[in-house]
Amino acid sequence: MAAKGILIQGLKKRYGSGDTAVDALKAVDMHVAPGEVVGLIGPSGSGKSTLLKCLGAVIEPTAGKIILDNDIIYDDGWKVKDLRALRRDRIGFVFQAPYLIPFLDVTDNVALLPMLAGMSNLEARKRAIELFEALDVKHRAKAMPSQLSGGEQQRVAIARGLVNQPPVILADEPTAPLDSERALTVIRILNDMAKRFETAIIVVTHDEKIIPTFKRIYHIRDGATYEEKGQGRGFE
């Protein structure tokens, strides 16, 4: 089976074994198409972070299938040898806090990823600046992260997630530290970027103020997902 964006089928994750085994993910099925932003909502301990770590190739699922832009990357075992390169080139991350590297300026924070992938410094910085234009932070390109506001830092973090043009971005509560206005701005940016770069974006969130913005929402409870149609307000 082939699918653009990211397709997850019957994904399971078990921690431990025997009597002490815990099934963190029991049956996760999801599909996020290119250009789509979906919400992943669930209470604490429901398996959100475990799912994100599995999709981010940080931990290995126990069973199931993950297809990324028509490539099977997991099918009861990793089908990709270099998971580090997979994370670098094909998966973007946006974290709850921006986690920018404090000793690199804004441009190099973003340009670092393509540099790690082998792109020349000049080309990588050029690509970063292009993203800054789209994210309206070009004027802070030479600033250090500590000189940016929270919203600006999060935009730079989004640029970092996008810079290698991955087919999927995993956003882990990206609006948690922001007020309502800034949180909605970040979601608006994610929607814009998803459409512009044909990227599938999964946003894990608890944030009540942004939940109505998703057109589709996956709820996760006790390690299983079910889909719900969202309201999709504000970004038509």
Applying CB under 8 A, which residues contact another protein? Answer: 48-50, 52-53, 56, 58-59, 84-89, 93, 95-96, 99, 101-104, 108, 112-113, 115-117, 121, 144, 160, 172-173
Give 67 or 86: the residue with its C-beta nearer to another protein: 86
Q: Which is nearer to another protein, 3 or 125 (CB)?
A: 125
CB 99, min distance to another protein, A = 5
Question: Which residue lies nearer to another protein by CB, 3 or 193?
Answer: 193
Let me know how long the chain is.
236
- Smallest separation, CB 138 to another protein (Å): 20
Minimum distance between the CB of residue 236 and another protein, rounded to whole angstroms? 31
Rounded (10°) angle between helices 121-135 and 106-116: 130
Q: At closest approach, how far in Å is the CB of 164 from another protein?
A: 9
In one-letter notation, the amino acid at residue 88 is R
Looking at the Cβ atoms of 31 and 125, the one nearer to another protein is: 125
Contact 160, 194 (CB under 8 A): no
> Where does residue 110 rank: exposed (0-12), middle (13-18), buried (19+ CB within 10 A)?
buried
Cβ proximity to another protein: between 49 and 185 the closer is 49
Whole-number minimum distance, CB 82 to another protein, in Å?
9
Rg (CA), the chain: 17
The CB-of-19 to another protein minimum distance in angstroms stands at 24
Which residue type occupies 189? I
Tokens of 78: 């990793």
Nearest C-alpha neighbor of 51 from the set 180, 181, 175, 172: 172
37-41 and 216-221 beta bridge pairing: parallel
Closer of 48 and 65 to another protein (Cβ): 48
Place of tokens 């770590």: 53
> What spatial distance separates the first Cα and last Cα of the chain, rounded to whole Å?
31
Biggest distance spanned by C-alpha atoms of the chain: 57
